Amino acid sequence: MTVVDTALKAPKTRVERYVASLSDPQRKAEAEELLAMFGRATDLPATIWGTSKVGYGRYAYEMPGGRKSEFMMAGFEPAKKHVVVYLSPDFEDFTAPLEILGKHEKGKSCVFIKALKDVNLEALEELVRLGLASTEKNFKTSET
């Protein structure tokens, strides 16, 4: 009988542990797929924002009234009712990939997707790439 060292199979990073802890099998599979896609699209390390957002990079911005804040350049959240994909503040300007994205709803700087199987993943990846380029051009950014 072969003994498998469980430490070798255990997720090592905080992001991997978070994704492994997702109880909904669909959301867990989607999060794993998004980790791979964002890894290709961003070439940035994944970090946890808050308790349930997986983010890549960060950018600084100023809100009306002068208050300054930071947010991830791109990322996702495998929420209960949908997956939220965080894009750049001007993502609605990227009409070509949005037109072929598939079933989604728009938020202020994000899209809500009920199931990844309902969207064109190449279009989603293109939105992430375009959003990163736009954010890097228009804001002060950093990798972490």
pLDDT (tens, 9 = 90+) of the chain, 144 residues, equals 445 444 455 567 899 999 999 999 999 999 999 999 999 999 999 999 999 999 999 999 988 899 999 999 999 999 999 999 999 989 889 999 999 999 999 999 999 999 999 999 999 999 999 999 999 999 999 886
The predicted pLDDT at position 104 comes to 97
> From residue 129, how far is each of 5, 7, 10, 15, 39 by CA, in Å?
38, 35, 31, 21, 11
The pTM assigned to this predicted structure is: 0.88
The predicted pLDDT at position 10 comes to 56
Give me the CATH code for the 6-142 domain, please: 3.90.1150.200
> From residue 57, how far is each of 7, 28, 109 by CA, in Å?
29, 22, 15
